[in-house]
Structure 1
Amino acid sequence: MSQQSSASAPLSPAPPQRDPRRWWILAVLCSSLFVIVLDNTILNVAIPSITEQLDASTAQIQWTINAYTLVLSGLLITAGGLSDRLGRKRALLLGLLVFGVGSAIGAFAGSPEVLIGARALMGVGAAFLMPGTLAVLVRTFDNEERPKAIGIWAAVSSVGMALGPVLGGFLLDHFWWGVTFLINVPVAVVGLIAMGALLRESKDPANARPDLIGALLCTVSVVALVWAVISVPGQGWLDPETLGAGLLGLAGATVFVRWELRAPDPMLDMTMFKNPKFRGAVFGGILSAFGMAGSLFLLTQDLQFLRGYAPLEAGAQLTPMAVGVLISSILISPRVVKKLGIGKGVALGVTCSAAGLLTVALAPDDGYLVLAAGLLLLGGGAGISGPLVANALMSSIPPERASTGSGVNNTLQELGSGLGVGVLGAVLVAAFSQNLPGGLGGAAAESFPAAVAAAGDDSGLLAQVRDSFADSLTISQLIGAAAVLLGGWLAGALLLRADRADRARAAAREAEAAVSGSGRADGAADDRPV
C-alpha cells in the first residue's frame, strides 16, 4: 500500500543545477565590461599629448571623445535586439573582436581622422558587448545568486569609470598616449579565448526576422538625443545645433515607437513599458546615472578650480566614491534586497546618495575628511540602488529578450548621464552668472577660468569670483541632491508597488497549488482499496 501511495504522489522537480563555471564566466564578462567603461574616461588625461603629437584641433579632440559615446549609445538597443535574435555568444565574440581591432588601430593612429574612426569602431564593438554581458549573467545565475552577481557586475562598471583618469595618468607617466588604447588588446584576446570555451549559445527561440527599419529609427533618434545632451555644457540649451539635434531625436523616437507598435517582429517590445517594475527600474536607472554623472561633473571643477588639484590628483581624490560603490555593490546590496525588497532598497540607496551629495556640497574647502565621507556615502548609495535597479529591470522582461532589455538599460543610463551633466551644468552657469560681481558678465560668466581671466590681477575681484563660483557649485549640488532624492523615491514607490503585486500573485499561485494538491490527495485516498 505504501508503494501504491508513493507511486501516486507527484514528483517534485529537481532543482536546477548550477553551472560550476559560473564564477569564471562572470570574471570574463566583467573584464570585458571593465575595459568598455574604462574607455569612457581614460582618454581625458591623454588629450594634451594627443593634441600635441597628432596636431589635433579642438573640434577633432571633441570628436575623438564623442565618437565613442555617440556610436555606443546609438547602437545599444539595436545591438541588444540583434543579440537576442542571432545569438548572445556570437554577439559577444563579435563585439570583443571589433573592440580589440579598434583599440589596436587607435593605439597606432597617425592622424586625428584615423583616431576618430578607431574610437567609432570601438563604440560599435562596445555596443554589442555591453548588453550581452548582463544578459548572459542573468541566464547563468539563479535567483539566489543573481543579486550578488549583478552587484559585482555593477561594481566593476562603476570602478572602471572612476579608475579611468587615475590609470590613464599612471600610464602616461611611463609610456606614450597610445598605450591607453593598447591595454585593451590583450584583454580582448584573452576574452575571445575564454568566451569561446566557457559560454553556451542562447537566443530568442522565436527566431524572428531582424527589424531593420526599427533599428535605423532607434539608432538615429538615440544618436540625435545623446548629441543634444552632450552639447549642452559647451553650447547651451538654446543653441540651434542643440535644439535641432534634440528635436530630431524626439521626432525619431516618436516614429520609432509608432513603428514598433505596428511592426510584425518589433525589435523592442513596447508592452514592457506597461510593467510597473520595468517603468520603475527605467526611471531609477536614469536618476542614478543623472546623479552620478552630474555630481562627478561638478566635483571635478570643485577639486581643480577651488581646491587647486591637478587633473590626476583630482581623479585620485574621488577614490572614496569608488570604494563605496565596490563595497556596497558586492556586500550590502544583496543583503538589502533580501531584507527590504527592491523598492525599499532603491529608496534607501538614493537616500544615501542624496545625503552624500549634500555632505559634499557643504564640505569646507580647507579639509578633505568631510569631502571623503560624502564621497563614500555617495558611492555607497549608488552601489546599493544600482544593482537593485538592474536586477528589477532584467527580472521584468522575458528571458528571450534579455539582451534587448539590457540595451534599454544601458541606453537610458547614457542619456541619464548626459542629462545630469547638461542640467546641472546649466544650473551652474545660470547661478554663476547671477552671483558674479558687477562688471563681470557676458563671456566671463561662461566658466570659472574665463571669469578669472576677466578679473585680471585684481585680488579683491578674484576673491569675489572664487566665492561666487563656490556658491554656484553648492546650489547646483543641492539641486542635484534634491532631484536624486525625489526621483529615486518615486522609482522606489513604483518598484515597491510592483513587489507587492508580485508577492500577491505568488501567494495566489501557492494557494491554488495547495488546493490542487489537496484535491489530488483526497482523490488518491478515495481510490485506495478498502
Structure 2
Amino acid sequence: MSRPEAGFQKKSAADPRGAGALGAGRRRAVLVVMCLALAVVVGMMTSLMVAVPDMARDLGAGESDLQWVVNAYGVVFAGLLLPGGALGDRYGRKGVLLAGLLIFGLASAGTAVVDDVGWVILLRAVAGVGAALVMPMTLSIITHVFPPEDRGRAIGVWSGVTVGGAMGAVLISGGLLEMYTWRSVFVVNVVLAAAALIGVLVAAPASKDSGAAPLDIGGGLLSVLGVGALVFAIVEGPERGWTSAPVWIAFLLGVAGLIAFVPWELRRRHPLLDPRMFRHRGLSAGALVITAEALAMFGFFFLGLQYLQEILGYSPLKAGFAIMPLAVGAMLFSPSAPKVARRFGMRPVVGLGMALIAAGLAIMAVLDSGSGYLPVLCGALLMGSGIAFAATPATEAIVTALPPGKQGVASALNDITRELGGVLGIAILGSVFNSTYRREAADAAEGLPAPSSEAIRDSLVSALRIAGDLGGARGAELAEGARSAFTSGMADAVLGGFAVVVLGGAAAVWLMPRRARKPKTGADTAD
C-alpha cells in the first residue's frame, strides 16, 4: 500500500503544480489523449475481426488460424496487463505509456508487410506487449488527474470509449476494406499510435507511486503461462481433437500455472496481484461483470461480423454500420451510468445491464441465413445499453477499491478482466462454434475428395469458394449446407455466451455492494 501522507498534491519538476492540481482544461486534454491511446489498442482487437474473411482468402487461413490471429494479441495483452500496470506505478506512467505506444506501432507496421500467417500471429503477439503497457496507464493516469468528485464521470467516458473505440475501429476497417487490402488496417493503426504518442508527450503529466514495490517476475510468468496454455487448448481442441496430447498437455499446463499463481502470490511480500484483494465484494463483483460482458461482446464480434459478411452478403463497411447500435447504446448511457448507480444503487443497475446483454444475445441466437437486419439491430442495441449499465459501475467499483498510489494495479486488474473476457469469448465461443461447424460441414462435404473436404471443414470462406468452383446443383447444395453449419455453430456459441452472462450476472449482483465505495487516499507522487 502507498503512504497516505503523500497524497495527490506533492509537487515535482516534472509537474510543478502536482497532477491533482491541473486545471479543468488540462484535465480534459489529458482525458482526450488517454481515450485516443485507449481506442487505438482496443480497436486493434475488433478492427481485425472485420478483416477476417479477407485475411482468410489472402493467407489461406482456417478458423483455428483466424482465432490465433485475433487471440495472439489478446493472450499476450491479458497476460502482461498486471506487470504493465505495476511497471507504470514503479517507473512512471507516462514513460511506460510512451514505450507501449512505440512497441505497438512498430509491430503494426511489421504486420502490414508480411505475407505468412505465422509471422502475422507473431507480430500480433508483439503488439499485445505494447498494448499491455498502454491500456492500464490510460485509466491510472485518468484516476490520478481527476479529483474524486469528477472521477466517476471521467471513468464513464473511458468505459464508453472501450466500446465506442472498438466499434469505431470496425467502421474504419470496413471503409478501408472497401478500397484496399486488410494490410491498410495496420497502416492506420500505425498512424493513430503515432498521433497518440505525440499527444501523450504534450499533454500527459508524469506520475508514479512513491512506494512502488519490486516487480514480481515469477507471478507475471505464471499468469502468462496459465492464460496462454488454456487458450491454446480451447482454440486447438476442435481441430486437433479434444483428446489429443497437445490439447491435454496445454490444459494441464494452463490449470497448473493458474493454480500455482495463487500460492506464489500469497507468499510474496510484494505480489503482482494479491488474491486477498478479492475479499472486497465490490472488486470481485466488478471483475466478474466485466469478464462476462467482454466474453459475450467479443465472442459475438468475432462470429457476428463473419455472419453479416458471409451469410447476409454485407460488405465490410456495411457490416460495421450494421452493429453500430451496440456502440450507440454503450456511449449513450455510459457517462450517466455512475450517476444512476449512485441514485438507485449498484445492484439494480448492474443487474439491469446484465439482463439487457442477455436479452440481446437471446435475439442473436435465433439468427439464420434468412434473417433480416431488424433482429441484428435490436440485439446490438440491447447489448450496448446493457454494457453501459453493467460495465461502468463495475469499473468504478474496482478502481475505488484500491488507493490512488495503486491505480496502475487497479486499472490493470480492470483491464485484465476485460481483455481476458475478450480472449475467452473468442476462444470459448469460437471453439463451440468451430466444433459444431466442423461436424455439420463434414456432412455437407460428403463425397468430395479429402483435401476439399478438409478445407470445407476449416472455414466457411473455403467452403463457399469450393462451392463456387463446383457450380451447378452440387455447388448450391454445398453452399447451403456450409451456411447452415455456420448459423448452427453461431447459435450454439451465442447460447453459451447467454449462459455465462446470466450466471455471471446473478453472482455479481449477489456480491455487489449497494453503493460504490468512497475513493481511498494514498501516496501518489509526480516524477
TM-score class, shorter-chain normalisation, is 0.7 to 0.9
Identity rate of aligned residues, in percent? Answer: 35
C-alpha displacement of 1:233: 5.9
Match for residue 280 of structure 1 among 282, 285, 298: 285
1:470/1:175 CA distance change after superposition, 3 Å: closer
Match for residue 343 of structure 2 among 316, 319, 339: 339
Q: How does 1:74-89 map to 2 (within 5 A)?
A: 74-89=79-94
Match for residue 364 of structure 2 among 356, 360, 367: 360
C-alpha displacement of 1:308: 3.3
Match for residue 488 of structure 1 among 502, 505, 511: 505
What SS is found at the alignment partner of 1:320?
A: helix
1:233/1:345 CA distance change after superposition, 3 Å: farther
Deviates more, 1:106-115 or 1:31-40: 106-115
Q: Distance in 2 between matches of 1:233 and 1:159?
A: 32
In structure 1, what residue type is equivalent to 2:130?
G
Report the count of equivalent residues: 486
Residue in 2 that maps onto 1:5: none
Residue in 1 that maps onto 2:332: 327
Residue 67 of structure 2 contacts residue 426 of structure 2 at CA under 8 Å; is this kept in 1?
Answer: no
Q: Distance in 2 between matches of 1:180 and 1:312?
A: 13
Residue in 2 that maps onto 1:224: 229
What SS is found at the alignment partner of 1:268?
A: coil
Q: Distance in 2 between matches of 1:449 and 1:383?
A: 34
Residue 50 of structure 2 contacts residue 306 of structure 2 at CA under 8 Å; is this kept in 1?
Answer: no
Q: Distance in 2 between matches of 1:97 and 1:291?
A: 31
Q: Distance in 2 between matches of 1:270 and 1:165?
A: 36
C-alpha displacement of 1:250: 1.7
- 1:14-35: per-residue Cα shift (whole Å, max 9, x none)? xx85642111101000111111
Residue 173 of structure 2 contacts residue 316 of structure 2 at CA under 8 Å; is this kept in 1?
Answer: no
Residue 131 of structure 1 contacts residue 410 of structure 1 at CA under 8 Å; is this kept in 2?
Answer: yes
In structure 1, what residue type is equivalent to 2:136?
P
Which structure is richer in relative contact order (CA contacts within 8 A, separation 6 or more)?
2
What SS is found at the alignment partner of 2:148?
A: coil
Q: How does 1:36-47 map to 2 (within 5 A)?
A: 36-44=41-49, 46=51
Match for residue 184 of structure 2 among 154, 163, 179: 179
Q: Distance in 2 between matches of 1:241 and 1:143?
A: 50
In structure 1, what residue type is equivalent to 2:161?
V
Residue 78 of structure 1 contacts residue 218 of structure 1 at CA under 8 Å; is this kept in 2?
Answer: no
C-alpha displacement of 1:178: 4.1
C-alpha displacement of 1:457: 2.9
Q: How does 1:55-454 map to 2 (within 5 A)?
A: 65-109=70-114, 118-175=123-180, 177-232=182-237, 234-235=239-240, 237-330=242-335, 332-362=336-366, 365-428=370-433
1:193/1:466 CA distance change after superposition, 3 Å: closer
Residue 232 of structure 1 contacts residue 422 of structure 1 at CA under 8 Å; is this kept in 2?
Answer: no
1:200/1:177 CA distance change after superposition, 3 Å: same
Q: Distance in 2 between matches of 1:451 and 1:185?
A: 34
Residue 64 of structure 1 contacts residue 119 of structure 1 at CA under 8 Å; is this kept in 2?
Answer: yes
Residue 85 of structure 1 contacts residue 203 of structure 1 at CA under 8 Å; is this kept in 2?
Answer: yes
Q: Distance in 2 between matches of 1:173 and 1:473?
A: 26
> What CA RMSD, in Å, does the superposition of the two structures yield over aligned residues?
3.8
Residue in 2 that maps onto 1:513: none
Residue 233 of structure 1 contacts residue 422 of structure 1 at CA under 8 Å; is this kept in 2?
Answer: no
> Is the aligned partner of 1:457 residue 2:473?
yes
Residue 40 of structure 2 contacts residue 189 of structure 2 at CA under 8 Å; is this kept in 1?
Answer: yes
1:109/1:451 CA distance change after superposition, 3 Å: closer
What SS is found at the alignment partner of 1:144?
A: helix
Q: Distance in 1 between matches of 2:273 and 2:227?
A: 14
Residue in 1 that maps onto 2:5: none
Q: Distance in 1 between matches of 2:66 and 2:294?
A: 25
What TM-score comes out, normalization by structure 2 length?
A: 0.79
C-alpha displacement of 1:92: 1.0
In terms of Rg, which structure is larger? 1
1:435/1:199 CA distance change after superposition, 3 Å: closer
Residue 70 of structure 1 contacts residue 227 of structure 1 at CA under 8 Å; is this kept in 2?
Answer: no
Deviates more, 1:99-108 or 1:253-262: 99-108
Deviates more, 1:150-159 or 1:475-484: 475-484
Q: Distance in 1 between matches of 2:378 and 2:47?
A: 25
What SS is found at the alignment partner of 1:145?
A: helix
Q: Distance in 1 between matches of 2:219 and 2:507?
A: 31
Q: Distance in 1 between matches of 2:241 and 2:288?
A: 25
Residue in 2 that maps onto 1:526: none
What SS is found at the alignment partner of 1:164?
A: helix
Q: Which runs of 5+ in 1 are unaligned?
A: 1-15, 507-530
1:358/1:114 CA distance change after superposition, 3 Å: closer
1:258/1:326 CA distance change after superposition, 3 Å: same
In structure 2, what residue type is equivalent to 1:372?
L
1:320/1:264 CA distance change after superposition, 3 Å: same
C-alpha displacement of 1:318: 1.3
What SS is found at the alignment partner of 1:267?
A: coil
What TM-score comes out, normalization by structure 1 length?
A: 0.79
